[in-house]
Amino acid sequence: MGGKPRILIVDDEPDVLLTLRLLLEGEGFEPSLAAEGETALRRIDEESPDLVLLDIMMPVLDGWMVLAQLADRPRRPRVVVCSAKTGELDIARARELGAAAYITKPFDPADLVETLRDVLAGKRNEARAVQHPAQDDEANSRT
Amino acid sequence: MMSGVTTTDQRETTPSRTASVRGEIRREARIAGLHREPSLGAIKSRRVQLSLVAFGVVVALLLVTTFASGWGPDSDIVVSPTVLRIGLIALAIGFTIYAIEKELHLRKLARLLEDEFAINTALSQSLHQYSALVAASRVVNSVLELEDVLDVILENALDMLDGDRGSIMLLEGSDELRAVAVQGHEGAKGAVVKVGESISGQVARTREPLILFGAADENRFPGLHKRDSAPWSAMCVPLENRGELLGVLNVSRSEGGEYEEYDLQTLRLFGEPAAAAIANARLYESERAHVAELLEIDRMKSEFMASMGHELRTPLTSIRGAVAASRRPVLSDEERGHLLDVVDRQAQRLHYMVEEMLTSSKQRTPGVMPMMRPVDLAALVRLVALDSQVAGRPVAVEAPKSCEVRGDPESLRRIVGNLIENAFKYGALPVRLTIEQDGSQVLLSVLDAGPGVPPEEREKIFERYYRADRTDSRPGHGLGLPIVRGLVTACGGTVWVDEGPEGGAAFRVALPVRSEHDRAAEPAPPDVEEQAWAASRGS
């Protein structure tokens, strides 16, 4: 393993899963995959990935519901939302729900990798924590 | 001589109305030794007086003439009896001539007074008619809603012609008339008469005004409704605008005098601006509906563009990702092959989407391009219900925890939203949403406690612009339900309306459940991970 960051890729598009898997593997991450929200939550519980790359529009349990459920968990992974939704409201909502970063599709693969590294290094998370300290406290105290 | 006088009088009085008659009356009154403003009664008594006096004088003179020979020599009058007789006879003749002349003047005066009365009556009648016509033209200019126009027309017609019952029947299709505005017998509203049948139907066919006295004859008017035979006197005129028959206008009264040709003429004249007003209101209505349709299409286009932009992003993501991944220094041929497949597949997908977009814009039905996928209908309905609640429209939801169907989430959201809106607009509280699974389909019902939809309207309400109750003034463009039908059909389902368990309307949407066949046909989520994993590993 050698301390490779583990990333759970959640997307309902098979080709997105496939390409991201190959891309991130090549960039030194250890990816795992989920095609919808329920599997994602199960794999988060079982594997405790370092980061979740989360699509929003998915069948059955969408990204919003995954984010909402993660907010209630004691040890939640960092989440980077990756969605074709580009509205400011969506971005704000993702931040409200605890996402560390928001990437809009289609993205520059290099940007994605950089963002993932930043978040894993805690840079983006700190920035968010500064923005919403109260929310973090609240999330922690609930546990 | 008399008839000559009358025609002269008429010719003079027509332009200046009563003024010249008035002058002549005064002149004649002076000659007849009457008050300046004589009444017919005064003239009559003056004529009686005159004839009595004349008769008395002539008789007295004749008596004197007859018995003058008996006058004795003691008499102081020394006139020969012959001369006396001649004188008295001449006096009698003279007085008679005078009396006859007076009588002629008095007769003329009486005639003039009657002329004046006739002119006044005609004036007041035409004033009445004129004001009603003015009111009708005001209707044309001020009221635009068809219902209001019809009501004002009917009210004015009844008021103008002292009618107590009336109706406006408008042509529907080519052979039916429907009573759309009714006064005096409200039960008749909505009644339908075939063109050619009954009184209205016959007027619609012949386009000739009709006037009736007493009970109408069933032999003359086949298909006559009983309520039509009751009025004492009735009129019916066609409503035509630019040669096109719009309907008929009925006016009747059960007491008072019979209608006459004059009244029919008035109603006929009134019918012209009335028909123009109806045509205008219809034009306005269709324009308004057209604008609503354009706005709706515009909105749908915007939504469509937004969702298209959105849908285009996903294949682009895959393509860019695949290109970036293929630059990895360590990559097996098989992995590279998979990535090239991704690029190819997603490029094809983009091509397909562009084709769809072009087809859709050709069909003028933007937005109707459902992205079919498995959707949890129960969760979706709860979300829409929550939005509705927030918007002040509480809805109760009775649904299983989850219920998967195949459909386009955006379409489904609009279907549920439109049905809720419809229930609040035309139904009554409480509004309930239920979801039941029934074999291979899921049944979504939107139930309200309103009056329900009559069986004959149940198909029509899904037609564009159709609104069940044309008399109500509630807002609506008549596109909500047609859109629902379009979206449901596009999702492979069916929509209809029937009666709910509590009597209100029950809108039902049957959607196909995601079948095993679907799962096999599409890249289903659970298999994806393995597939992608295998692909990335190579073998």
Could you list the pLDDT tens digit for every one of the 539 residues in chain B? 333 333 333 333 344 566 777 888 888 888 877 777 778 888 888 889 888 988 888 888 888 877 765 555 555 656 677 887 888 888 888 888 988 888 888 888 888 888 888 888 878 877 777 777 677 667 656 677 888 889 888 988 888 888 888 999 999 988 899 999 999 887 788 889 999 888 889 999 999 999 988 766 666 776 666 555 465 789 999 999 999 999 999 999 887 788 888 888 888 888 888 898 899 888 888 888 889 888 887 877 777 677 677 778 888 999 999 999 998 888 888 989 989 999 998 898 788 777 666 655 544 454 445 567 788 899 899 888 887 776 677 899 999 988 888 888 878 888 898 899 888 878 888 899 999 988 888 999 999 988 888 888 888 788 654 545 443 434 344 456 777 888 888 888 899 999 888 888 999 999 988 655 555 554 444 444 444 444 444 43
Cα gap B272→B413, rounded to integer Å: 49
Q: What's the DSSP call for residue B473? A: -
Chain B residues in contact with A39 by the CB 8 A cut-off are: 525-526, 529
Helices of type H across B143-252: 146-160, 198-206, 226-229
Question: Quick check: B531 and A109 CB within 8 A?
Answer: no
Tokens of B404: 């998967």
Chain A residues in contact with B525 by the CB 8 A cut-off are: 12, 35-36, 39, 59
CB atoms closer than 10 angstroms to residue B202: 21
pLDDT, one tens digit per residue, over A92-126 is 999 999 999 999 988 999 999 999 999 999 866 54
Beta strands in A24-119 (DSSP E): 30-34, 51-54, 78-83, 101-104
The answer to whether B324 faces chain A, any CB pair under 8 Å, is yes
Chain A closest CA to B413's CA: distance in Å? 14
Between B329, B375, B535, which is nearest A18 by CB? B535
Our measurement of the distance from residue A136's CA atom to the centroid of its chain's CA atoms, rounded to an integer in Å, reads 16
Phi-psi domain of B214 (left: phi exceeds 0; alpha: psi -120 through 50; beta: other): left
Residue B181, classed as helix, strand or coil, is: strand
| Beta bridge partners of residue B181, listed in sequence order | B168
Question: Quick check: B533 and A14 CB within 8 A?
Answer: no
Element (H, E) at B496: strand B494-499
Q: Are B439 and B487 in contact (CB under 8 A)?
A: no
Between B314, B316, B525, which is nearest A59 by CB? B525
Nearest chain B residue to A37 by CA distance is: B525
Residue B182, classed as helix, strand or coil, is: strand
**Backbone φ and ψ of B449, nearest 5°:** -110, 30
Q: What's the DSSP call for residue B68? A: G
The C-alpha torsion from B494 through B499 and B502 to B504, rounded to 10°, is 90
Q: What is the pLDDT of residue B410?
A: 78
Question: Quick check: B532 and A17 CB within 8 A?
Answer: yes
The bridge status of strand B431-438 relative to strand B494-499 is unpaired
Q: Is the dihedral of CA B266, B269, B275, B281 positive or negative?
A: negative
Residue B444, classed as helix, strand or coil, is: strand
- Mean pLDDT, residues A69-82 taken together: 89
List residues in chain A touching B: CB distance below 8 A.
12-23, 25-26, 33-36, 39, 57, 59-61, 84-86, 104-110
Q: What is the pLDDT of residue B389?
A: 79
Domain that holds residue A69: 6-142
Domain B144-277 falls in which CATH fold?
Answer: Beta-Lactamase (3.30.450)
Chain A residues in contact with B324 by the CB 8 A cut-off are: 19, 23, 109-110
Q: What is the pLDDT of residue B381?
A: 92
Interacting residues of B439 by C-beta distance below 8 A, sequence separation 6+: B513
Chain A closest CA to B520's CA: distance in Å? 15
The order of strands in the sheet holding A6-10 is A30-34, A6-10, A51-54, A78-83, A101-104
Query: What does the domain layout of chain B look like in residue ranges?
Result: 2-137, 144-277, 288-367, 373-519
**CATH code of the domain containing A66:** 3.40.50.2300
Cα gap B60→B351, rounded to integer Å: 128
Question: Quick check: B330 and A105 CB within 8 A?
Answer: no
The bridge status of strand B244-253 relative to strand B165-172 is antiparallel
CB atoms closer than 10 angstroms to residue B26: 17
Chain B residues in contact with A85 by the CB 8 A cut-off are: 310
Does some domain include residue A1?
no
Cα gap A136→A139, rounded to integer Å: 5
Q: What is the pLDDT of residue B227?
A: 55
Please give the ipTM for the structure prediction.
0.77
**Backbone φ and ψ of A81, nearest 5°:** -85, 135
Q: Are B225 and B197 in contact (CB under 8 A)?
A: no
Interface-testing mutation among B317, B327, B406, B519, with chain A (most A C-beta atoms within 10 A): B317
| pLDDT value at A137 more than 50 | no
The verdict on whether omega for the bond into residue A106 sits within 30 degrees of 0, i.e. cis, is yes
Between B526, B529, B536, which is nearest A22 by CB? B536
Domain at B288-367, CATH from 2.40.160.40, 1.10.3720.10, 1.10.287.130, 3.40.50.970: 1.10.287.130
The bridge status of strand A51-54 relative to strand A6-10 is parallel
Q: Helices then strands (H, E): number in chain B?
A: 14, 13
Cα gap B25→B210, rounded to integer Å: 40
The answer to whether B194 faces chain A, any CB pair under 8 Å, is no
Instruction: Residue B277: name the closest of B226, B303, B239 by CA.
Output: B239
Domains identified in chain A, total number:
1
Between B326, B330, B531, which is nearest A14 by CB? B531
Between B316, B326, B376, which is nearest A106 by CB? B316
Cα gap B46→B95, rounded to integer Å: 16
Q: Are A54 and A82 in contact (CB under 8 A)?
A: yes
Does some domain include residue A75?
yes
What does each C-alpha distance from A84 to A22, A110, B163, B311, B371 come to in angstroms?
21, 18, 69, 8, 15
Domain at B373-519, CATH from 3.30.565.10, 3.40.50.1220, 3.30.300.20, 3.40.50.1010: 3.30.565.10
Tokens of B387: 């939005």
Does some domain include residue A94?
yes
The answer to whether B434 faces chain A, any CB pair under 8 Å, is no
